[in-house]
Amino acid sequence: MFPACTITSCKYPSRARCLCCQQNLCRNHFNEHDDLIQTQLDILIDKINGFNYRLKAFNIEVMKGDSHQKLEQCREECHKTIDRFFEQKSEELDQHVKEKVNKQQTEFEGIQSKINELINEETVTSKIINSLTMSVDILEQEMKEIEQTFVQVDIRPLLLQDNFIHIGESKIDQFNLKTIFPVYKKLRCINSSWSGLASGDQFLLIEQKKNLFFVDHELIVVKQKQWLYGEIMDVCWSSILTQFIITMKNDVYLINENTMVSERIKTNPKQNWYSCTCSETSLFLSTNDSGSSIMEFSLLPTIQLINQWESPVTCLNIERIIDITYNNGKFALMILNEIDNVVHMELKSIKKFERIWSISLDINYKYHISSCCSLKWDEWLIIDGNTSRLIHVDKDGQIKNIHEYDPLPCYPTSFGPNILAISTEKCVNFHKV
């Protein structure tokens, strides 16, 4: 007697047993079962063939995106850095030798002057002669030492660590405000005040109540400079000058990240400056008044005014620009309506200064700062210091996410490929992204 078919609705006895799934099936259901397995196998084969086709058709250049271009740019910038370093050390070498020679020249001219005076006055005595002879003997000995001295230059090999350039993967939707917590590292401020931030090649510049702190990529404060020139309005970085730029109410300064030497630059006409940002070739300054203007200054070969935009191209007469940020040929402007105290953001093209998009941010501007920074994939992170929020905006001007931040945030900036720095009143927080 054959066992019944496994299919409960079937009244026929089984005629075969499937060795794969151990089912007893009648002839019809066995055929159906076998056809179903074959169909599923065919579907898998089609999917595998489809994957193979997609892999063969895959454009590797698309996946690389602009990464190879970034490597080329990195190589060019490294060459420029080495050239600048060579020029700096060449100047130091010349200065070192000139100081030695000039010292002897000054002493020689002093003795020569004394001799000329004595000849004119005719008051030469044996004591004076002996004193001059001793001075000349000392000068002669120093001359011999100089003639027998060679400047020695000790050069250590230039070592590049493998992690100088990191190659990994990044997805367009990878950045998420919810994933940047908790704080990776925290730097306490010496005073309770809002801290401005600017990200350079080697250092993150933290401006904090008459002090400038330089933080390296290990997030360690390695340099500090007291700022004695007055209130700082904004800070930014120029890649072409490899220097930080500090904007004050009426002046603008360059800060060398290696020597920390400050240099005031002329920005004629003199204005009441507020925010600053740099493109690859220019410096842009916004004015701190209703209907703010934006002025463009060339950076090389000299710093000079080359362009200017005024209201209503920049903003309306009842509006004021409270932050300006450049990225990839575009400006992000944070604009305050001075009538209702509401902030909105506009993205403009740097070439024609045309509006690309505008977005209302529901930021009621009261006492605290509203600012933004650029992210990967032409996206933006906005700080709402009035309601303690972070707002993530995509490249098309759509809000992707809003997240509350504690403590009250002030300024954001990207530091390197995977660190986000956010300043607060009492510290600067670092997040991995």
pLDDT tens digits along 122-146: 666 777 777 777 777 777 777 777 6
Instruction: Spell 164-179 as b/e; 16+ CB within 10 A means b.
Output: eeeeeeeeeeebebee
Cis peptide leading into 417, omega within 30 of 0?
Answer: no
CA–CA dist 55, 152 (Å, integer): 59
For the chain, domain boundaries: 16-58, 62-121, 179-432
Mean pLDDT of 414-420: 87
Predicted local distance difference test score (pLDDT) of residue 198: 94
Per-residue pLDDT tens for 277-313?
A: 999 899 999 999 999 999 999 998 889 999 999 999 9
Per-residue pLDDT tens for 171-208?
A: 555 667 776 767 889 888 766 667 789 999 889 999 98
CA–CA dist 58, 75 (Å, integer): 28
Q: Is the pLDDT of residue 118 over 70?
A: no
Instruction: Specify which of 126-130, 152-156, 268-272 reaches the highest per-range mean pLDDT.
Output: 268-272
Instruction: Specify which of 52-66, 102-116, 252-266 reaches the highest per-range mean pLDDT.
Output: 252-266
* Percentage, residues of the chain above pLDDT 70: 89
Per-residue pLDDT tens for 205-223?
A: 999 878 899 999 888 999 9
Q: Is the pLDDT of residue 108 over 90?
A: no
- What's the chain's average pLDDT? 84
Residue 400 to residues 176, 286, 336, 382, Cα–Cα distance (Å): 9, 28, 22, 12
Predicted local distance difference test score (pLDDT) of residue 411: 92
**Amino acid letter, residue 325:** T
CA–CA dist 308, 284 (Å, integer): 9
What's the alpha-carbon Rg for the chain, to the nearest Å? 35
Predicted local distance difference test score (pLDDT) of residue 290: 94
Cis peptide leading into 301, omega within 30 of 0?
Answer: yes
Q: Is the pLDDT of residue 357 over 90?
A: yes
Predicted local distance difference test score (pLDDT) of residue 68: 76
CA–CA dist 68, 74 (Å, integer): 10
The residue with tokens 């390695």 is 222
Predicted local distance difference test score (pLDDT) of residue 83: 81
Class of domain 179-432 (CATH, top level): mainly beta
Q: Is the pLDDT of residue 170 over 60?
A: no
Specify burial of residue 265 (Cβ count, 10 A radius: 0-12, 13-18, 19+). Answer: middle
Instruction: Give 276 or 367, the one with higher predicted confidence.
Output: 276
Predicted local distance difference test score (pLDDT) of residue 413: 94
Predicted local distance difference test score (pLDDT) of residue 367: 67
> Which are the contacts of 330, defined by CB distance < 8 A and separation ≥ 6?
347, 348, 349, 350, 356, 378
